[in-house]
Amino acid sequence: MLSYVELENFRGFERFRLAGLSRVNLLVGENNCGKSSLLEATTLLAKGGDLRALVDFARQRGETAYSEVYEVCFPDVRHFFYGHCVDDRSEALIIGDNDRLQVSIDRTNLRDFEAAYPGARSLEESMYLPVDAVLLVRGGVNGSDGIIVPVIENGRIHDSVLDLYAAKIRSASRDRPYVGYMLPSAMTLDEIGRYWDHAVVTRREMEVISALQIIEPRLNNIFFLSGGLKAGPNGGARGVLLELDGESVRIPLGSVGDGSRRLLGLALALIRYRDSVLLLDEIDAGLHYSIMPRLWHLIVETARQSNMQVFATTHSSDCVRGLAQFCREHPELQEEVSLQKISCELEESVALHAEEIILADEQRMEVR
């Protein structure tokens, strides 16, 4: 479990330290203070510096740049470096309890690239890559010597490079813990289906139903349509149906509101893996304030049982108040949570633990 995460020259942080971490951590702070960047850094750390995660984040944020050579958009990694620009040599550091990741772009020494890829000239020619820099990732799955990948056109990474990269790190990444990153948008039906299959196989489907009862106490059961039925005017081929007390028909998940879908996704993600890291951006999106204490109980209890560390973000005072209420109601679980206030003006997060979270709530302090 991470007790701290340190950043240097990463995203909007010249230097920053997320300290005093617990099992479940709620990150708060004004817009553009870097909460999502901290989730990204934590993900990269937990994934051992897997470059594919870096590229996924670039795509999720729309940080792609159009290549006139290829007439498509490629992920642009310049935005991961403080100031969004890359000099001849720029370096970002992400440090945690057991890992030290170094991500650097170097324009000055392409010999490293040629050494890493014997026959680099032919690689360059076969991929039509006008390589003008190298991206070096050291630490974690990349090993202490690091892995070098070519960078084209001032910071862009060609997709085909990732295939080469994946082949190189496959064995190293196999032993890493699962890292889940959940965006505010609910899971797709396909994702929900895959996760549900796992819940059924591991006989944990009742936990999912219990979680969903936080929102819908009348829920008796959940049924997944396999897709065997032909899609027609009355509905799609696949779907989720809820059996509710007092209803003569089973209700499609889509008919009971976004909150149910969001909570279903959350519950499935929570029970999917053990010994893992789960990151939940805008955790309370689509959820009513009244369920927050029970939601926190679900998250903390599940995280504890599954040896999982959770990082969540919010802008909502209801979500923070819900955490305070949870701390009051469950003194036995108080040491499992922290609230991390992020501010652009500080180089370290302000960590509040249960006693202070309750105090701040009682005295109506603005901690967001």
Partner 1 sequence: MATSMERSALHVEGKDDLYAIVNLLMRHGVDYENRRSELPELREIGSCEKVLVGMETAVKTSTGRAIGFVLDADSPIENRWNAVRVRLQRVDVVVPGTPLPVGFVAESAKYKSTVGV
d(CA 200, CA 208): 10
* 346: enclosing H helix or E strand: none
Cα separations in angstroms, 249 against 246, 252, 257: 9, 9, 17
Residue from 72, 166, 206, 346 touching partner 1 (CB under 8 A): that is: 346
To partner 1, the closest distance from the beta carbon of 33 in angstroms equals: 10
To partner 1, the closest distance from the beta carbon of 261 in angstroms equals: 32
Q: Which is nearer to partner 1, 298 or 357 (CB)?
A: 357
Count of residues in contact with partner 1, rule CB under 8 A:
17
To partner 1, the closest distance from the beta carbon of 231 in angstroms equals: 49
To partner 1, the closest distance from the beta carbon of 338 in angstroms equals: 13
Q: Which is nearer to partner 1, 242 or 358 (CB)?
A: 358
Told to check if 321 binds partner 1 by CB under 8 A, we report: no
Residue from 14, 30, 125, 163 touching partner 1 (CB under 8 A): that is: 30
Strand bridging mode 24-28 / 337-341: parallel
Exposure b/e, 210-227, CB count within 10 A at least 16 = b? ebbebbbeebeebebbee
Told to check if 365 binds partner 1 by CB under 8 A, we report: yes
Range 118-157, binding partner 1 (CB under 8 A): none
Told to check if 209 binds partner 1 by CB under 8 A, we report: no
d(CA 173, CA 178): 10
Q: Which is nearer to partner 1, 95 or 358 (CB)?
A: 358
d(CA 149, CA 173): 17
Told to check if 359 binds partner 1 by CB under 8 A, we report: yes
Exposure b/e, 17-32, CB count within 10 A at least 16 = b? bbebbbbbbbbbbeee
Told to check if 316 binds partner 1 by CB under 8 A, we report: no
d(CA 278, CA 24): 9
Told to check if 345 binds partner 1 by CB under 8 A, we report: yes
To partner 1, the closest distance from the beta carbon of 7 in angstroms equals: 18
Binding segment for partner 1 (CB under 8 A), chosen from 201-209, 227-235, 275-283, 354-362, is 354-362
d(CA 51, CA 172): 13
Using DSSP's 3-state secondary structure scheme, residue 94 falls into: strand
To partner 1, the closest distance from the beta carbon of 25 in angstroms equals: 16
What single letter denotes the amino acid at residue 162?
L
Q: How many helices (H) and strands (E) does the chain have?
A: 11, 17
Cα separations in angstroms, 341 against 8, 33, 67, 285, 297: 18, 10, 39, 19, 21
Strand bridging mode 350-353 / 337-341: antiparallel
Binding segment for partner 1 (CB under 8 A), chosen from 82-90, 171-179, 269-277, 341-349, is 341-349
Told to check if 229 binds partner 1 by CB under 8 A, we report: no
151 near 132, Cβ under 8 Å?
A: yes
Residue from 71, 175, 245, 366 touching partner 1 (CB under 8 A): that is: 366
* 341: enclosing H helix or E strand: strand 337-341
Retrieve residue 145's tokens.
Answer: 């010597």
Told to check if 324 binds partner 1 by CB under 8 A, we report: no
Told to check if 72 binds partner 1 by CB under 8 A, we report: no
Told to check if 360 binds partner 1 by CB under 8 A, we report: yes
Q: Which is nearer to partner 1, 208 or 360 (CB)?
A: 360
Binding segment for partner 1 (CB under 8 A), chosen from 121-129, 174-182, 326-334, 343-351, is 343-351
Q: Which is nearer to partner 1, 298 or 342 (CB)?
A: 342
To partner 1, the closest distance from the beta carbon of 349 in angstroms equals: 11
Told to check if 323 binds partner 1 by CB under 8 A, we report: no
Interface contacts to partner 1, rule CB under 8 A: 30, 341, 343, 345-346, 350, 352, 356, 359-360, 362-368
